[in-house]
């Protein structure tokens, strides 16, 4: 396991030096942020990103993410050109020696929450998805704007994209995903880049839009599209567990049994028929047995990147990017180090983090 930490580039108030001081962090999860969605990432930009991270004493373990253009998801006529650009980005990531790319295939909205500062009993706040609040929202009025929603959409363009999805049901979206996967995978294999699809977040339909990467059956169907270790998943335990019908550990056991987990996201959630709220990473705080998660990785000698996912806002953290403050993610990262070390020791193996500190 390569314990990793997401970094949003030089505008991120969490610096590479901050991250480097978190014990056991070996990998950076980041992206090229200044190329419009649909265009190819130039090699120079990928190499510059790599140099910047290495100058900070760290290495890129994962690209999160290369966004998939809406026209690919919609299966529009111009998709072949957009897919060629996507393949070029994968090739350039491979040339930079970066082994993993995370992406998702969610229509219109990336992750969605109703509240970014929902209080927890300990006085901290976190991201929440309260169904009764979501049901009152109408993305077509233009009155709402939530993070995770692409702010570049005007009321008119939002209406247009919703109209376009009236022609794309779940089966059609699967077909469009299949077309995309079959087109990019030979390139990913050649480039030595393992692809890792992130589940829909939350893993069910919102605002009538189709959503397909939602449960164990979906993972099975997805992996069967193209049977290669380069065609894998991001096992985001918190996203899968956000649907009370899912058993995230069962999904994980299935995917790791097929050697198709290419990236791990570890966050915990409290879940109910009311929706879900993100909580501290500790198992007892939420629905996920994190020790069982790490034990599965150790049992399978899993060697990929894992990152502590969304944290609560604690200790007066002023970070703007919701869920991506330094403190609670750092607490999560050290918690996962502890679980990893203990599980490795129980299996008669030694956990190595590359952090041995020697004073002169």
Q: Could you list the residues that contact Mn ion (CB under 5 A)?
A: 236, 265
CB of 211 to Mn ion, least distance (A): 15
**Residue closest to Mn ion (Cβ):** 236
Q: What stretch of H or E contains 331?
A: helix 326-346
Least spacing, CB of residue 334 vs Mn ion, in Å: 19
Given 115, 200, 201, 309, the catalytic residue: 309
Residue given tokens 């649909």 in the structure block = 38
How far apart are CB 344 and Mn ion at their closest, in Å? 24
| Structure-token pair, residue 138 | 């109408």
Contact 161, 70 (CB under 8 A): yes
Residue count (the chain): 360
Spatial CB neighbours of 7, under 8 Å, sequence gap ≥ 6 = 14, 16, 19, 28, 29, 30, 53
Closest to Mn ion by CB, 103 vs 165, is 103
- Please give the Cα distance from 268 to 288 (Å, whole number): 6
Active site residue 324: yes
Strand intervals (E) in the chain: 2-6, 27-30, 59-64, 100-103, 115-119, 125-130, 194-197, 231-236, 261-266, 268-272, 275-279, 305-308
Q: Is 302 exposed, middle or buried (0-12, 13-18, 19+ CB in 10 A)?
A: middle
Which of the residues 265, 281, 328, 340 is marked catalytic?
Answer: 265
Nearer to Mn ion, 82 or 129 (CB): 129
Is the Cβ of residue 74 or residue 196 nearer to Mn ion in the bound state?
Answer: 196
Is 281 in the active site?
A: no
Q: Which is nearer to Mn ion, 236 or 306 (CB)?
A: 236
Task: For residue 236, indicate whether it is catalytic.
Answer: yes
Please report how close the Cβ of residue 349 comes to Mn ion at its closest, in angstroms: 27
**Residue 248: CB minimum distance to Mn ion, A:** 12
Choice among 86, 198, 201, 340 that is catalytic: 198
Would residue 309 show up in a list of annotated catalytic residues for this protein?
A: yes
310 is catalytic: yes
Q: CA–CA separation, 350 vs 247, rounded Å? A: 30
Q: Which is nearer to Mn ion, 85 or 268 (CB)?
A: 268
CB of 307 to Mn ion, least distance (A): 9
Query: Given the complex with Mn ion, which of 96 and 333 has the nearer CB atom?
Result: 333
Rounded-to-integer distance, Cα 287 and Cα 306, Å: 19
State the catalytic residue, choosing from 310, 317, 328, 340: 310
Neighbour count for residue 143 (Cβ, 10 Å): 9
Active site positions, annotated: 198, 236, 265, 309-310, 324
């Amino acid at each position: 396991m390569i314990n990793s930490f997401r970094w949003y580039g030089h505008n991120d108030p969490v610096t590479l030096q901050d991250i480097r001081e978190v014990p056991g962090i070996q990998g950076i999860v980041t992206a090229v942020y200044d190329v419009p969605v649909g265009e190819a990432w130039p090699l120079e930009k990928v190499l510059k990103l790599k140099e910047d991270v290495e100058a900070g004493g760290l290495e890129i373990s994962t690209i999160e993410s290369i966004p998939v253009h809406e026209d690919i998801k919609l299966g529009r006529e111009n998709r072949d050109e957009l897919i060629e650009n996507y393949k070029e980005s994968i090739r350039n990531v491979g040339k930079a020696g970066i082994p993993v790319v995370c992406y998702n295939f969610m229509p219109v909205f990336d992750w969605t929450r109703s509240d970014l500062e929902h209080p927890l009993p300990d006085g901290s706040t976190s991201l929440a998805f309260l169904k009764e609040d979501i049901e009152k929202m109408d993305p077509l009025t233009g009155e709402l704007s939530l993070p995770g929603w692409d702010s570049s959409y005007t009321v008119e363009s939002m209406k247009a994209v919703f109209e376009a999805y009236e022609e794309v049901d779940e089966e059609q979206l699967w077909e469009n995903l299949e077309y995309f996967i079959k087109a990019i995978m030979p390139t990913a294999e050649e480039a030595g880049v393992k692809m890792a699809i992130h589940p829909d977040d939350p893993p069910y339909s919102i605002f009538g839009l189709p959503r397909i990467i939602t449960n164990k059956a979906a993972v099975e169907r997805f992996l069967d599209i193209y049977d290669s270790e380069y065609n894998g998943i991001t096992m985001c335990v918190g996203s899968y567990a956000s649907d009370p019908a899912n058993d995230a550990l069962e999904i994980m056991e299935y995917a790791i049994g097929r050697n198709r987990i290419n990236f791990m996201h570890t966050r915990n959630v409290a879940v109910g028929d009311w929706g879900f709220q993100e909580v501290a990473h500790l198992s007892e705080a939420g629905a996920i047995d994190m020790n069982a998660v790490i034990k599965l990785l150790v049992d399978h000698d899993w060697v990929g990147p894992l990152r502590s996912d969304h944290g609560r806002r604690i200790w007066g953290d002023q970070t703007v990017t919701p869920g991506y403050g330094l403190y609670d993610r750092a607490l999560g990262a050290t918690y996962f180090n502890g679980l990893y070390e203990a599980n490795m020791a129980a299996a008669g193996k030694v956990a190595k983090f590359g952090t041995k500190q020697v004073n002169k």
